[in-house]
Structure 1
Amino acid sequence: MANDESNDQGTYVLADQPYERDTRYIETRITRDGGDGYPVEPGRYRLVVSYACPWANRAIIVRRLLGLDRVISMGVCGPTHDKRSWTFDLDPGGVDPVLGIPRLQDAYFARIPGYPKGITVPAIVDERSGAVVTNNFPQITLDFETEWVDFHRPGAPVLYPEDLREEIDAVNAVVYRDVNNGVYRCGFAGSQSAYDAAYDQLFSRLDWLSERLATQRYLVGDTITEADVRLFTTLARFDAVYHGHFKCNREKLSEMPVLWAYARDLYQTPGFGDETDFDHIKRHYYEVHRDLNPAGIVPKGPDLSNWNTPHGRESLGGRPFGDGEPPAPK
């Protein structure tokens, strides 16, 4: 089947080049005033995700923490995809039960015929038209936090407080550059020099984060914010895939005491660990990135049961949900 394009997973490494992420997203926004033509409206939109993807995992977590699962439906793609599109192979008949499509590509084409760029998750689809509204993942969670406030659950945390936004934005910028995208710059580096530079930048930032979090429970302020969500989804994948598959191997996360305790603290917080699927994560990276792992073999290890061990971060104070309360159990 090597010549069947539907089974071609695509190429991720370009020889002799550093990895550059394409960030040309569909930037339409869903807002209270409907300025882009898509007003906030319960029951109108479907968030399409994969639990394998760290960018989609952010939206899954924020939707759950804020209680937006009551007003925004969610379609879940399988952990793998082919060269062109994520697919709904987890659903009966391989078709999303709300959108009625087998491939997320269909919703992109409904918005922009022949859409030439990556078919990415997360994507928000307008259920009325079946067309993608946006795949601009950094803005999706910010809009969940600021534009959908009238539909947050009672007791929802304030994930993007106005008085901390400047600091949150600054932390997010360096974490994205050096960590969230930094692991990909290691894994998809096309030369030794590109890999070395990305590796050094990644672990320098992880050391910086360890110092920051040694004396405070959360990244910004004394409650969970957007900054913690963005860092968590990378840390959750670190030992399972990035350490080995992407050669981010100076240390495992479980060998970095501060970050390991911090990650376990979040994992054990409702809305984080219960929205993390290690099986989907491992299957995606090892089965899809065939230029890194030609046989598609998924490793049996590492043992991930240690995510539920005590973390001791309560001693630093802080209140996970501020004046609010955790979401109801799944």
Structure 2
Amino acid sequence: MGYVEAGGYDRDMSYIDDRVVADPTGDRRWPVAAGRYRLVGSRACPWAHRAIITRRLTGLDVGPEETGPAPLSLGLCGPTHDWKSWTFDLDPDSVDPVLGVGRLRDCYLHRYADYPKGITVPALVEIGSKAVVTNDFRTMVTDLATEWAPLHRPGAPDLYPAGLQAEIDAMADVNFRTVNNGVYRCGFAGDQASYEEAFAALFSRLDELEEHLADRRYLVGDHLTLADVYLFATLVRFDHVYHGHFKCNRNRIAEMPNLWGYLRDLFQTPGFGDTVNLDQIKQHYYRVHTDINPTGVVAVGPDPAAFYTPHDRDRLGGTPFHNAAGDATAPAAPRPEDVRDGDEAGAFV
């Protein structure tokens, strides 16, 4: 996640960049196959949250037959971890029931015995070998939305439509630099000048997004796309964590009418709010980042009930789910095996 260091915060963006694709021709390419891989994430981590949402929206938790095992199963790590690894604290005996490991680090070492970098989520793990295939959240999420299409559920939305890909990529890129990673650049800045530079870029972009969303329901086009998935993972954490913990405190998202309505609209859409666990999110940030919060005291507010208040965003037109066939539908409720203690229906916030 990062730690305070001298100067500006510089995220290490080098990952295991293998990909799981429909046509695995070429180096570092693995074939899409039902039941072969397990997505390991955490409800605490925004980068993993993107993959968890995309899996739900596209139906990789149910598959084309909507019965039987999920084409892509889900392992969930607990909200806190030590320097070594994310751990499976939410499962019986703190062991993932499919992979049979207690630490995600084990899966990295099954791939590389001397893996030198941080143990990150999301990670796609090959179940048979218990080895990480990729932890590159950038290509992983796009591939789940596109390359995995043969295993999507009936009525799955197209989150990355061909005619909008350039616009989605451009939107995602600037939002990543200024907002998604921008909050970390504020929180982990090692000097005043670096913090103020990141702070200015963050709120300048939020002001632009506030204006952008004044007359449109979604970021790109008339329906949900990956651009919305990416921004949601940051916005839903903003008032509860980033505003105070990362000193992103010019204002809350709840004080920006268009962004706040947009966030509530997404939260109330199946596949978004039902993947959020604010308790785990706050436990992670306030207890793991001991250099920022050495007491480990976890903030109590704000009241999450606000996410359920009316948003009136449907007046802007557009619909959440769309695909080329015109038969896109919302995902069903989460599968029982994807629910852990603390995730029960009604307890996500």
TM over 0.5: yes
Q: Pick one of 35, 42, 51 that aligns with 1:43.
A: 35
Residues 141-194 of structure 1 deviation map (CA, whole Å, 9 limit, x = unaligned): 100111111111111110000000000000000000000000000000000000
- AA at the equivalent of 1:65: L
* Alignment-derived partner of residue 12 in structure 1: 3
* Alignment-derived partner of residue 53 in structure 2: 61
Q: Pick one of 329, 333, 339 that aligns with 1:329.
A: 333
- AA at the equivalent of 2:46: P
- SS of 2:177's equivalent in the other structure is helix
Q: Tell me the distance in 1 between the aligned counterparts of 2:16 and 2:333.
A: 33
- SS of 2:160's equivalent in the other structure is coil
Equivalent pairs, count: 320
Q: Tell me the distance in 2 between the aligned counterparts of 1:196 and 1:299.
A: 24
- SS of 1:48's equivalent in the other structure is strand
- Is this contact kept in 1: 2:2–2:188, CA < 8 A? no
- Is this contact kept in 2: 1:11–1:291, CA < 8 A? no
Q: Tell me the distance in 1 between the aligned counterparts of 2:84 and 2:171.
A: 33
RMSD (CA atoms) = 1.0
Segments of 5+ residues of structure 1 without an aligned counterpart are 1-9
Q: Percent identity?
A: 60
Aligned pairs for 1:85-100 (under 5 A) are 85-100=85-100
Residues 267-314 of structure 1 deviation map (CA, whole Å, 9 limit, x = unaligned): 000000000110110000000000000010101111111000000100
- SS of 2:329's equivalent in the other structure is coil
Q: Pick one of 31, 43, 49 that aligns with 2:21.
A: 31
Aligned pairs for 1:212-251 (under 5 A) are 212-251=212-251
Q: Tell me the distance in 1 between the aligned counterparts of 2:304 and 2:195.
A: 27
- AA at the equivalent of 2:235: L
- AA at the equivalent of 2:33: E
Aligned pairs for 1:154-193 (under 5 A) are 154-193=154-193
- Is this contact kept in 1: 2:2–2:11, CA < 8 A? no
- AA at the equivalent of 1:14: E
| More displaced stretch, 89-98 vs 56-65 | 89-98
* Alignment-derived partner of residue 127 in structure 1: 127
Q: How far off its partner does 1:329 sit? A: 2.0
- SS of 2:217's equivalent in the other structure is coil
- Is this contact kept in 1: 2:189–2:195, CA < 8 A? yes
- AA at the equivalent of 1:25: Y
* Alignment-derived partner of residue 64 in structure 2: none
- AA at the equivalent of 1:328: A
Runs of 4+ residues deviating >3 angstroms = none
- AA at the equivalent of 2:5: L
- AA at the equivalent of 1:51: R
Q: TM-score, normalised by structure 1?
A: 0.96
Q: Tell me the distance in 2 between the aligned counterparts of 1:100 and 1:50.
A: 17
Q: Tell me the distance in 1 between the aligned counterparts of 2:225 and 2:134.
A: 23
Q: Tell me the distance in 1 between the aligned counterparts of 2:138 and 2:29.
A: 20
- SS of 2:20's equivalent in the other structure is coil
Q: Tell me the distance in 2 between the aligned counterparts of 1:109 and 1:91.
A: 21
